[in-house]
Amino acid sequence: MFSTDMLTDTLQQLIGNKTPDKTVLARLIGAQGDEAVQLRSFANDIKQQRLGNYVYFRGLTEFSNKCSKNCYYCGIRAGNKHVDRYDLSDSDILDAVRFAHEHKYGSVVLQAGERSDKAFVDRVDGLLRKIKQLSNNELGITLSLGEQSPETFQRWFESGAHRYLLRIESSNKELYYKIHPENDKHSYDKRLKALYDLKDAGYQVGTGIMIGLPFQTRHDLVDDLLFMQNFDIDMVGMGPYIEHTETPLYKFKDQLLPLNERFQMAINMISLLRILMPDINIASATALQAIDPMGREKALKAGANVIMPNVTPGMYRNSYKLYENKPCTDEEASDCVSCLEMRIGLTGNKVGYGQWGDSQHFRQRKGEK
């Protein structure tokens, strides 16, 4: 175990370090007790110094659970026949967006199962234009809609989206194919190319991973941190892997780390990434709250600065279950507002109402002040 002074010196050396010691990172991913407290406090101080004490809202609309993919970990995979499939109407989506705008969330996220057919691409394009019109161009828009062609990415960007989250899930190609089918529709190389296409189109680009997957080692997680750093990512959404009974990976449930250990490693990963990349946006994932009722708040005190309140109509939330025990599936958007503000206040932060909360890293990467 590091002494307090030694750990402080070690963490200081990690700030923005492009060639960090992998052994140190592997050890800190598993930090416990006082060592974990010091790591998370240090990361929170970095966040406060670089980005202030604001937390930015992204009103999340999960507008469809129809998906063309068959990822082995996901509850809405195409092969799961026990899902009630739905598509929100445009009016329901715009009502959810209007709620976010009226409550000064600053930004919204459109998320759905992955499709790339023309009808879907055209629909998203139209929704982007309507959201910009509805909000007088005041709402920032993040998309999380999977792999698309460079032309589609560019089209959606020109219609108003400016952030895109596409999680790599694991930067280890071998592990990637243990959690996805190995075929043209689930190609590691295509996923990687899509991330570069997003950067070329001009988006603030986000990615992320799951922590505590079957077959995953701590060294895989170290490489994931370095992957995100080397890619020069602008924002990250990562959290603990939580198994779903209707997925192929569920048969490996007895090989998984205990839920609490996955949770603690996820918080440590957030802290380490904040130290390695001080000015990116890091989301406090909802999956954290599925394990610990104060999970999202703990992430905000460990370096995260973005939270995604769900504004999807309550009747559909239980059908968009990527994993078991997803929180807030029995709530409406209005139930979250005062609760979240209070809980964020308890972390020593305040909500950046009405602000897009763009990635400072992106602005610097683009040479903007």
Is 178 exposed, middle or buried (CB count within 10 Å of its CB: 0-12, 13-18, 19+)? middle
Name the maximum alpha-carbon separation found in the chain.
59
* pLDDT tens readout for residues 44-103: 999 999 999 999 999 999 999 999 999 999 999 999 999 999 999 999 999 999 999 999
Torsion of CA 31, 3, 50, 195, to 10 degrees: -40
Residues ≥6 apart with Cβ < 8 Å to 40: 267, 268, 271, 298, 301, 302, 303
Question: How far apart are alpha carbons 255 and 358 in whole angstroms?
Answer: 39
Does the pLDDT of residue 344 top 50, yes or no?
A: yes
Note whether residue 179 is domain-resident: yes
Note whether residue 249 is domain-resident: yes
Question: How far apart are alpha carbons 20 and 11 in whole angstroms?
Answer: 10
Note whether residue 58 is domain-resident: yes
Name the nearest CA neighbour of 267 among 236, 235, 301. 301
C-alpha distances out from residue 293 to 111, 124, 194, 263, 326, Å = 24, 34, 35, 12, 11
Model pLDDT, residue 340 = 83
Residue 191 sits in a domain whose CATH number is 3.20.20.70
Across the chain, mean pLDDT equals: 93
Task: For the beta carbon of residue 218, count every other beta carbon within 10 angstroms.
Answer: 15
Q: Are 241 and 213 in contact (CB under 8 A)?
A: yes
Note whether residue 361 is domain-resident: no
**Looking at the 3D structure of the chain, how many domains does it have?**
1
Note whether residue 364 is domain-resident: no
Model pLDDT, residue 47 = 98
Model pLDDT, residue 341 = 85
Residue with tokens 């897009």, as numbered in its chain = 356
Does the pLDDT of residue 332 top 80, yes or no?
A: no
Q: Are 365 and 232 in contact (CB under 8 A)?
A: yes
Structure tokens of 264? 């603690």
Model pLDDT, residue 312 = 84
Does the pLDDT of residue 11 top 70, yes or no?
A: yes
Does the pLDDT of residue 323 top 90, yes or no?
A: no
Q: Mean pLDDT throughout 176-192?
A: 97
Model pLDDT, residue 321 = 56
Model pLDDT, residue 221 = 98
Range(s) of the domain holding residue 244: 4-355
Share of the chain above pLDDT 90, in %: 87
Note whether residue 369 is domain-resident: no
Chain-centroid distance, C-alpha 137: 24
Note whether residue 360 is domain-resident: no
Q: Residue ranges of the alpha helices (H) in 159-217?
A: 173-179, 188-201
Residues ≥6 apart with Cβ < 8 Å to 52: none
Residues ≥6 apart with Cβ < 8 Å to 159: 125, 128, 129, 132
Does the pLDDT of residue 317 top 50, yes or no?
A: no
* pLDDT tens readout for residues 137-166: 999 999 999 999 999 999 999 999 999 999
Partner residues linked to 283 by β-bridges: 306
Q: What is 299-349 written as a DSSP string? A: HHTTT--EE--B-S-HHHHTT--SSTT-TTTT--HHHHHHHHHHHHHHTT-
* pLDDT tens readout for residues 230-283: 999 999 999 999 999 999 999 999 999 999 999 999 999 999 999 999 999 999
Q: Are 229 and 200 in contact (CB under 8 A)?
A: no
Question: How far apart are alpha carbons 290 and 133 in whole angstroms?
Answer: 35
Task: For the beta carbon of residue 118, count every other beta carbon within 10 angstroms.
Answer: 9
Model pLDDT, residue 320 = 59
At residue 63, what is the residue type?
A: F
Does the pLDDT of residue 106 top 60, yes or no?
A: yes
Does the pLDDT of residue 335 top 80, yes or no?
A: no
Note whether residue 161 is domain-resident: yes
Return the minimum-mean-pLDDT range out of 167-171, 228-232, 241-245, 310-314: 310-314
